[in-house]
């Protein structure tokens, strides 16, 4: 029991993984056909936008902040994607690079504003969210299809029967395995754990904020790119639907909202949980609104359990 508890504390993504397996088991029983290669590709495709956008949020939350502007970046990216006409190869490369860079730059700007103004990330990114969503609506006033067909085709390609989303997921995990061991991430963790101590250890508050929010913007743009090519359309207000789920996925995955401790594996698990709840509700023939109730309850439950185990382990070490 105690080894299980230590294991759970060291790998904060284990408890949500158990929840995910349970959900998987329910779906498996209700609809055994789910676990075919095709279906798994579809599930990953469905979860991928959330996974990408929550990846950035994980980094920011580990840094001890929060990023709401990812909603605006997501919206703006899909809007830009849907207004590119029919670009050639060079143009395509340029525009894809452009949106990713734009996301990263917007994120860095968030980081700079927060650091130099010594402002609360919540309000600053709330404001930039509004600005970016405004830009999205200016670029594309209403939901329209119009994402270049070549991009959509590329996204829907199935080399060797493996979907692009699954490949993306693989790349993401490998990149994370590398990134989470670099000095930059170590400094982000340190600054999120205790900014003052980190500063005394020569960690740059500005640098870690720029990196964390910059990466968050980058991943939000990647999520927008993915979403646009997945649906073939631009959605200038879609971001609103993803901000809170992104935070929820991060929290369900065991990342501490106080900063210092983050786990992308947990976030990915969290994103899958939130995606599969819809399936479970559907298969149980409940009204689709139960999806919201259930995700809210799971989120609350996870946080309450974390809070309780934290206070237990802290009181054990007191003195």
257-286 positions binding another protein, by CB under 8 A: 257-258, 260-261
Q: Does 134 bind another protein (CB under 8 A)?
A: yes
CB 175, min distance to another protein, A: 12
Interface region with another protein, contact rule CB under 8 A, candidates 37-45, 153-161, 212-220, 291-299: 291-299
Measure Cα distances from 203 to 62, 101, 153, 318 in Å.
Answer: 15, 25, 44, 29
Q: Which is nearer to another protein, 52 or 190 (CB)?
A: 190
CB 93, min distance to another protein, A: 26
Neighbours of 169 (CB within 10 A): 18
Q: Name which of residues 29 to 48 contact another protein (CB under 8 A).
A: none
Q: Name which of residues 54 to 83 contact another protein (CB under 8 A).
A: 66
Nearest to 250 by CA among 60, 81, 103, 75: 60
Contact 253, 268 (CB under 8 A): yes
* Degrees to nearest 5, angle at CA 10 with 7 and 11: 80
CB 219, min distance to another protein, A: 20
Measure Cα distances from 250 to 94, 156, 263, 283 in Å.
Answer: 31, 27, 8, 26
**How many residues interact with another protein (rule CB under 8 A)?**
73
Question: Which member of 36, 37, 39, 122 binds another protein (CB under 8 A)?
Answer: 122
Nearest to 210 by CA among 69, 66, 109, 74: 109
CB 22, min distance to another protein, A: 19
In whole angstroms, give the CA distance from residue 158 to residue 154.
9
Q: Which is nearer to another protein, 117 or 159 (CB)?
A: 117
């Amino acid at each position: 029991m105690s080894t299980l508890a230590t294991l759970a504390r060291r790998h904060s993504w284990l408890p949500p993984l158990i929840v995910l397996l349970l959900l998987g088991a329910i779906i498996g029983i209700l609809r055994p056909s789910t676990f075919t290669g095709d279906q798994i590709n579809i599930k990953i495709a469905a979860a991928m936008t959330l996974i990408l956008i929550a990846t950035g949020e994980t980094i920011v939350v580990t840094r001890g902040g929060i990023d709401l502007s990812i909603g605006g970046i997501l919206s703006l990216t899909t809007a830009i994607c849907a207004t590119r006409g029919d670009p050639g190869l060079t143009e395509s490369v340029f525009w894809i690079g452009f949106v990713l860079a734009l996301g990263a730059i917007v994120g860095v700007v968030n980081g700079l504003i927060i650091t130099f103004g010594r402002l609360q990330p919540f309000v600053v990114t709330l404001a930039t969210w509004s600005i970016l969503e405004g830009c999205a609506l200016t670029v594309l006033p209403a939901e329209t299809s119009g994402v270049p067909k070549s991009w959509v085709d590329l996204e829907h390609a199935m080399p060797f029967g493996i979907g692009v989303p699954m490949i993306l997921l693989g790349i993401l995990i490998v990149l994370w395995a590398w990134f989470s061991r670099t000095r930059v991430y170590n400094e982000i963790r340190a600054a999120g754990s205790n900014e003052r101590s980190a500063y005394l250890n020569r960690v740059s508050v500005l640098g870690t904020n720029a990196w964390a929010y910059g990466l968050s913007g980058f991943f939000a743009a990647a999520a927008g790119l993915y979403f646009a090519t997945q649906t073939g359309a631009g959605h200038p207000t879609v971001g609103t639907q993803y901000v809170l789920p992104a935070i929820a996925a991060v929290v369900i995955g065991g990342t501490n909202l106080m900063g210092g401790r983050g786990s992308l594996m947990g976030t990915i698990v969290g994103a899958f949980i939130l995606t599969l709840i819809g399936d479970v509700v559907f298969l149980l023939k409940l009204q689709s609104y139960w999806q919201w109730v259930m995700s809210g309850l799971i989120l609350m439950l996870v946080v309450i359990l974390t809070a309780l185990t934290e206070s237990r382990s802290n009181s054990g070490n007191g003195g």
